Chains A and B, each alone.
Chain A
Amino acid sequence: MLVFALKRLGLVVLVTLTVSLLSFSLLFMSGDPASAIAGENASASDIEAIRTLYGFDRPFLVQYGDWLSGALRGDFGQSYYFKLPVSTLIADRLSVTMLLGVCGISFALLTAVPLGVVAAMRPNSFIDRAALFLSVMGQAMPSFWFGLVLIVIFSIQLNWLPPSGSSGWQNFIMPTVVLGYYAMPAIMRLTRAGMLEVLGADYIRTARAKGASEMRVMFKHALRNAIVPVVSLAAVQMGFMLGGSIVVESIFALHGAGYLAWESIARNDLPTVQALILIFSCFYIIFTFLSDLANAWLDPRIRVG
């Protein structure tokens, strides 16, 4: 287990470094960062001064090393726009995004896993088809459109839920549903497929032969084995969700990291964009790493011996 964890950790570090290099190089794709910082009324000499001040005249790798060592200490430089440390800005916004991500993935799991189980229990039944229909819909529904439709229905027509903001739990209902619905189909399908596979396994028959109830067979014996890949998928989806919360946050005016990312892109605030890309990537990397560990833990064949 330890060796396994260390090996994965090595890969994690390597991937993180590569991602950091890629996100840093964005800065240099974008033309002259000095001119972007200088703002609206800067003269050529101002821009030159900024170039030296920020060290944009140094070689690429030197700047990257500098940025990376800062990033390791949690220092991502200053936002061009807010003139505040990027880390403060992001720390401030991240909680909303994390909350949204956790709510979204919980919603997805809480709906998709039971649906997948029930669908697998009665393949081709009405409920299976309904679940499949839901998941096919979810895959095809553009999430921004779904969000708008929810606002029209629940905020405007019915006036049940606030359309924007993050002041109360009601604010998170629609974003959670939109974000979660996006992750639901994959989780449901995987649960269903895993359950179907597991339900054909001999040990399920063994459990039935012991006189275990259907529920016990499903949830204790089958799901426990079928859930292993679902955990990995949920981790992956969680990573995607945080990165994909841009759309949802912008629709529901949630001031999270995704919205900050979008605005920062629009404002050409590259230090913030770089940091966010790196942080979202790190989340993905951490989640998948944790899910690998969780998998190992869930599967005694990896955990023991």
Chain B
Amino acid sequence: MSDPILSVRNLTIDIPMSQNTMHAVRGISFDLKRGETLCIVGESGSGKSLTSLAIMGLLSKKLQRAATRLDFAGIDLMSQKLRQMRDLRGNRMAMIFQEPMTSLNPAYTIGDQLAEAYLLHRKATRVQARMRAIELLGKVGITAAENRLSQYPHQLSGGLRQRVMIAMALMCEPELIIADEPTTALDVTIQAQILRLLADLQREMNMAMILVTHDLGVVARVADKVAVMYAGEVVEQGTAKEIFGHPRHPYTRGLLRCIPVPGRSKPGEHLGSIPGMVPSLVGRVKGCAFRARCDVAEEACTAAIPERRMESGHAWRCIHQAAERLSP
């Protein structure tokens, strides 16, 4: 069980443009073990979703994916043929998307869509697929599951749809589940329910999970490991405890300042925010991408940035050895 189920080294994603290339994701590496939850956090456009799609092999053909290593359960995903990838997707690795409103096909019933992956990957009859669907709908907390099967997506609320999406991802008991901001589109009240559900199911089924989010509150609750992404790079990663307890990278610190902490931040109090803009990733990206917004930036930030790593695996990219002194 100590072998990682997912091992990523130097994953890069390039987006070719008319005259130039946009380096959207650069040199991402991490390991994930069975039963672990990795949270990838970062702002919009930092490459979180691209990374998760890259693992699933769902990037648009125009995008170029490269990695020195991209292993899933001992299988080298980089060398897998389309057909072999299809056998993995929805079967051993599954994904939950952020838009439950639009991620279900409006033309088919919930039952059809639930059964599809099961029928594709298991030698199962429709009846068996149906039973499995009912079982999973029950698991994700949908009552009267049997009646729901013949309903269409537009007849369900957002929360229900996301539960359906989760059930759909779990149909074949995947070993890895990637949830790409699964709660962003939902009501605040439902967000917590869904997340709790996901976390419970992950534990129950002993899956590895990648949870992509920009909600650090969520991360704090469910993450074993956290990777912080900024402008296509993982600027810091480590255990949840390390990241929340000892953030090293100025960006991580900035992010943490932005969370309202119940009890600690008073209503109306100014929340931290990071001024400035995300730099263009078109063309060669040199130095630290965060330097323009960093309050400790120096001349050296324009040169290559070393990755600093602790014994525990806590790693960050910054020229500053330890940024403790910068904490507020």
Q: Note whether A and B contact each other (Cβ less than 8 A).
A: yes
In whole angstroms, what is the CA distance A213 to B107 when docked?
18
**Selected A-B contacts with CB under 8 Å, 12 pairs:** A202-B97, A203-B106, A205-B58, A206-B104, A206-B165, A209-B95, A211-B85, A221-B107, A225-B105, A225-B107, A301-B106, A305-B154
| B126 CB within 8 Å of chain A | no
The reply to whether B102 and A212 form a contact with Cβ atoms under 8 Å apart is no
Partner of B102, one of A203, A207, A214, A298: A203
A contact face: mostly helix, strand, loop, or mixed: helix
| A210 CB within 8 Å of chain B | yes
Partner of A211, one of B86, B99, B113: B86
Decide yes or no: A209 and B90 within 8 Å by CB, A301-B154, A304-B155 being known contacts.
Answer: yes
Q: Which of B115-123, B197-205, B256-264 contacts A (4 or more CB under 8 A)?
A: B115-123
| B30 CB within 8 Å of chain A | no
Q: Nearest Cβ distance between residue B67 and chain A, in whole angstroms?
A: 20
Decide yes or no: A206 and B152 within 8 Å by CB, A211-B117, A298-B107 being known contacts.
Answer: no
Q: Nearest Cβ distance between residue B184 and chain A, in whole angstroms?
A: 13
The reply to whether A304 and B152 form a contact with Cβ atoms under 8 Å apart is yes
Interface range on chain B: under 10, 10 to 19, 20 to 34, or 35 or more? 35 or more
Q: Nearest Cβ distance between residue A259 and chain B, in whole angstroms?
A: 41
The reply to whether B105 and A213 form a contact with Cβ atoms under 8 Å apart is no
In whole angstroms, what is the CA distance A165 to B36 when docked?
75
Partner of A206, one of B85, B88, B97, B151: B97
The reply to whether B89 and A211 form a contact with Cβ atoms under 8 Å apart is yes
Residues of A1-45 contacting chain B, CB below 8 A:
none
Residues of A24-72 contacting chain B, CB below 8 A:
none
* Interface 1/0 per residue, B119-131 and A, CB below 8 Å: 0110000000000
Q: Nearest Cβ distance between residue B203 and chain A, in whole angstroms?
A: 22
In whole angstroms, what is the CA distance A206 to B168 when docked?
10
Decide yes or no: A207 and B105 within 8 Å by CB, A300-B152, A305-B155 being known contacts.
Answer: yes
In whole angstroms, what is the CA distance A206 to B89 when docked?
10
The reply to whether B97 and A205 form a contact with Cβ atoms under 8 Å apart is yes
| A208 CB within 8 Å of chain B | yes
Decide yes or no: A202 and B102 within 8 Å by CB, A210-B90, A211-B88, A213-B86 being known contacts.
Answer: yes
The reply to whether A210 and B116 form a contact with Cβ atoms under 8 Å apart is yes
The reply to whether A208 and B106 form a contact with Cβ atoms under 8 Å apart is no
Partner of B120, one of A201, A211, A299: A211
Q: Nearest Cβ distance between residue A290 and chain B, in whole angstroms?
A: 19
Beyond A211-B120, A301-B106, A301-B154, 5 additional contacts (C-beta under 8 Å) are A205-B103, A206-B105, A206-B165, A221-B107, A304-B154
On chain A, the residues within 8 Å of B169 by CB distance are: 209
* Interface 1/0 per residue, A254-288 and B, CB below 8 Å: 00000000000000000000000000000000000
| B166 CB within 8 Å of chain A | no
Q: Which of B95, B97, B102, B105 has the most CB of A within 10 A?
A: B105
In whole angstroms, what is the CA distance A206 to B113 when docked?
10
| A129 CB within 8 Å of chain B | no
The interface of chain A, by Cβ under 8 A from chain B, is 201-203, 205-214, 221, 224-225, 298-301, 304-305
In whole angstroms, what is the CA distance A202 to B181 when docked?
14
Q: Nearest Cβ distance between residue A168 and chain B, in whole angstroms?
A: 40
The reply to whether B106 and A221 form a contact with Cβ atoms under 8 Å apart is no
The reply to whether A299 and B107 form a contact with Cβ atoms under 8 Å apart is yes
Residues of B106-160 contacting chain A, CB below 8 A:
106-109, 113, 116-117, 120-121, 151-152, 154-155
Query: Closest chain A residue to B171 by CB distance?
Result: A210
The reply to whether B95 and A203 form a contact with Cβ atoms under 8 Å apart is no
| B87 CB within 8 Å of chain A | yes
Q: Which of B88, B89, B91, B103 has the most CB of A within 10 A?
A: B103
The reply to whether A201 and B58 form a contact with Cβ atoms under 8 Å apart is no
On chain B, the residues within 8 Å of A299 by CB distance are: 106-107
Partner of A203, one of B82, B104, B117, B121: B104
On chain B, the residues within 8 Å of A212 by CB distance are: 86, 90, 116, 120
On chain A, the residues within 8 Å of B85 by CB distance are: 211
On chain A, the residues within 8 Å of B234 by CB distance are: none
In whole angstroms, what is the CA distance A225 to B102 when docked?
13
On chain B, the residues within 8 Å of A224 by CB distance are: 105, 107-108
Q: Which of A201, A205, A214, A304 has the most CB of B within 10 A?
A: A205
In whole angstroms, what is the CA distance A209 to B117 when docked?
9
Decide yes or no: A210 and B106 within 8 Å by CB, A300-B152, A300-B154, A304-B155 being known contacts.
Answer: no
On chain A, the residues within 8 Å of B116 by CB distance are: 207, 210, 212
Q: Nearest Cβ distance between residue B151 and chain A, in whole angstroms?
A: 8
In whole angstroms, what is the CA distance A298 to B108 when docked?
10
On chain A, the residues within 8 Å of B97 by CB distance are: 202, 205-206, 209
On chain B, the residues within 8 Å of A301 by CB distance are: 106, 152, 154
In whole angstroms, what is the CA distance A203 to B107 when docked?
10
* Interface 1/0 per residue, B36-65 and A, CB below 8 Å: 000000000000000000001010000000
Partner of A210, one of B108, B117, B151: B117
In whole angstroms, what is the CA distance A210 to B113 when docked?
10
On chain B, the residues within 8 Å of A209 by CB distance are: 56, 58, 89-90, 94-95, 97, 169
